[in-house]
Amino acid sequence: MVLASWQPAQAQHEGLIYGRVQTQSGEVYTGQIRWSAHQVFWGDILLGVKTEVPVLQYLNEEQISQLSPAEPDAGFDWQFINLWKSKYPARDYDLKLRFGDLAALQITGEQTATILLKNNRRIKIASHPDDNRHLGKDITVYDNQKGRLTVNWDNLKSVNFLPTPAQLPHIKGTPLYGTVQTANGPLTGFIKWDQDEYLSSHQLDGQLDSNPQNLRYAFSQIHSIQVRDKGSIVKFYSDDKIFLKNNRDVNATNRGIVVQHPAWGQAIVSWEAFRSVTFEDKVPANLGYESYGKLQKIRGTIRTTDNHNIKAELVFDLDEEWTAELLDGRFGNTIRYTIPFGRIVNLKPLPNGRSEIQMAGEKKLTLENENDVSGQNWGLMLLLPNKQHRYIPWAKISQISFF
């Protein structure tokens, strides 16, 4: 999926989150950052809920009254009318952004913060009710002078994200990078094995047929892993092969393989969909903080089911408005994709709660089982000139061509 030039062996750590952390008590720490939900890569995702609903300013009572309640399947939840009685609708307005798309984060409360995007726009967020690990928790900083430090959220004032140096002296090994073969094709990028191991110094666990003792092998020794029966064939750079079993690292109890890349987003691959992985011993160049491109408002040409074409800025699912925000969808229930809108060329709703997504580079995915790509989508708000904004229910959308 991705082609890239290779960098010198010493420039291996640019994919890790890095920045300057300022505390309420006046200390400033600079170094690698491990966020509270175990985010370590720039491609890892910060999850929250928007505390200000952007689309509210584009709706008025007349527009709401014109939305037909006879179309409950049109992707519009009629509890939305309660917005005029209460500040928030029944449904949360999720915010998902990759750390590489953030300029800074300022703490504003026990579980709230203001995000500064790279285009200097601000978004106020709160902790997500379904996953509260992202805000309000302690973070870890590997300060260049003082070493590893835990910064309590209560003492955290702000974080300014910065490009990561090519080499971080405290890191043993290099980030895992390679190509994962799946039931839905190959995925190339940074890898988190079992959603946990992400460095070549980390270890793969398992048992041999001839030895019931649990054995460990550093990922730096491993060239590939392939599913085989109730375990895995592990091939080393030495060309030796072994069969490992009876451990979560090498069988169906694996929690999933995370693959992520600045160019296309992230996928979490279940063991059911996993076929094999081939690791590279070097990380391609230009995959650090600066590889996360300039963001803008989401724009597209919308083709309606009655064959009208409308070109406009838009708010997708009545909450996503920036190209750095992420579309969620699943390949069955075996691979979960999270894709930046800025990397999507075309989206076409399909029958049975699915959508066809065409990405830059002609890669096509058929996704389902998430609000963004199913009939649970709340539709589009088109931001037209002179504030003549128009709401289009999901059921009335034939195709969206993003530009």
One DSSP character per residue, 182-227 reads: ETTEEEEEEEEBTTTB-BTTSEEEEEETTEEEEEEEEGGGEEEEEE
Note whether residue 61 is domain-resident: no
Note whether residue 60 is domain-resident: no
Note whether residue 393 is domain-resident: yes
Residue 323 clears pLDDT 50, i.e. is over it = yes
On whether both 143 and 29 belong to a single domain, the answer is yes
Residue 298 clears pLDDT 50, i.e. is over it = yes
Residue 388 clears pLDDT 90, i.e. is over it = no
Domain boundary among 290, 321, 352: 290
On whether both 41 and 130 belong to a single domain, the answer is yes
Q: Bigger pLDDT: 164 or 318? A: 164
Domain boundary among 110, 130, 161: 161
Note whether residue 234 is domain-resident: yes
Note whether residue 9 is domain-resident: no
**Parent domain of 130:** 18-51+94-161
Domain count, the chain: 3
Strands 309-316 and 241-245 come out as unpaired
Q: Bigger pLDDT: 84 or 43? A: 43
On whether both 340 and 363 belong to a single domain, the answer is yes
The candidate with the shortest Cα–Cα distance to 243, out of 202, 215, 282, is 215
Average pLDDT value for residue range 142-171:
97
pLDDT at 76: 39
Note whether residue 67 is domain-resident: no
pLDDT tens-place string over residues 45-61: 999 999 987 676 776 56
On whether both 109 and 195 belong to a single domain, the answer is no
On whether both 279 and 319 belong to a single domain, the answer is no
On whether both 143 and 238 belong to a single domain, the answer is no
On whether both 219 and 189 belong to a single domain, the answer is yes
Given a contact cutoff of 8 angstroms between Cβ atoms, the answer to whether 200 and 220 are in contact is: yes
Token pair for 65: 């009254």
Note whether residue 112 is domain-resident: yes
Note whether residue 313 is domain-resident: yes
Given a contact cutoff of 8 angstroms between Cβ atoms, the answer to whether 4 and 264 are in contact is: no
Domain boundary among 243, 269, 290: 290
On whether both 253 and 182 belong to a single domain, the answer is yes
Close Cβ partners of 360 (under 8 Å, ≥ 6 residues apart): 263, 264, 343, 344, 345
On whether both 98 and 45 belong to a single domain, the answer is yes
Q: Bigger pLDDT: 108 or 76? A: 108
On whether both 194 and 103 belong to a single domain, the answer is no
Alpha helix (H) residue ranges in 70-192: none
On whether both 242 and 356 belong to a single domain, the answer is no
Entry pTM = 0.90
pLDDT at 51: 92
On whether both 285 and 317 belong to a single domain, the answer is no
pLDDT at 5: 34
